[in-house]
Amino acid sequence: MRGKSEEERKRIRAETEARRDPNKIRAAHDNSRGKEVGARSLSLSDHDEALSKENFPRVLGQLKEESDRGLAITGGALLEAMLTKLLWLALENRGDSQSLFEDQGGPLSTFRNKILMAHAMGLIDDQTKDEADIIRRIRNRFSHALLPIDLNTPEVCEACKKLTRYAAEYPSDAYLPWRDSSARFVFQMAVTGVTLAVSNKSAEIGSEALTRLWVQFQRDMAALDESGDNDLPDDLPAV
């Protein structure tokens, strides 16, 4: 790290440590820049790190080990990150679009706006939108609570009862050793189900984008064939 400032060295060490532990991704990113956690949205590069093939299953799987507070906050952050990825993939012109997500007050810088935009664009259905918004509100309740609360706190438990879509897929007598309370089970299944639904849509859009590029490439090549301009020059450099 010779030649780098002390601040730059601290940032690199923090980001290296974050890659080893997905739990530290958000804290390292914000703290290395002197920001309070939650002061602004994660950058798109941070989302790529959290949602990589290596980290995403780990982050999703570790939810069952979290406290109720950790489950609410980490689960909400995971869903928001996946919505960010979905919206980014759905953009036609990405050029300078990072500011939509990353600028303070940007139209897609908040969890709520990402849910509303994904629904308005037809990327998520009505029930996914509703459950994502409940997860968002529960996340916010835990984030701003000064006194101890858990998923059995009456107002939180009542909100969890509205998360019916994904918990209903598992019978009450299913063997799930981490089922420790009905509210916790319902919330965790909702976070997992909604996040995976958004992830599947992201994969679908990514595949469609690649298909469009391939089709356009084939059309371009066909046009070259018809024009006769596809002959390679004789003086191509050796490689």
State the pLDDT at residue 33.
34
Domain membership flag for residue 163: yes
Does residue 67 come out as left (phi exceeding 0), alpha (psi in the -120 to 50 range) or beta?
Answer: beta
Domain assignment present for residue 198? The answer is yes
Sign of the alpha-carbon torsion through 86, 92, 96, 99: negative
CATH, residue 198:
1.20.120.330
Total number of domains constituting the chain: 1
Q: Is residue 8 part of a domain?
A: no
| pLDDT for the residue 31 | 40
pLDDT of 96:
76
198: nearest Cα among 96, 97, 109, 129: 129
Dihedral sign, CA of 196, 197, 202, 205? positive
Question: Does residue 55 lie in a domain region?
Answer: no
DSSP run (H or E) holding 80: helix 68-90
Q: What is the predicted pLDDT for the residue at 99?
A: 83
Residue 14 lies in a domain: no
Would 160 be classed as within a structural domain?
Answer: yes
pLDDT along the chain (239 residues), means of 10: 58 54 43 36 55 72 89 93 90 80 85 95 95 97 94 94 77 48 85 91 81 71 67 50
What confidence score (pLDDT) does residue 106 get? 85
Asked if the structure places residue 209 within a domain, the reply is yes
Range of the domain at 218: 67-91+99-223
Task: Give the residue among 139, 152, 153, 144 at the shortest CA–CA distance from 185.
Answer: 152
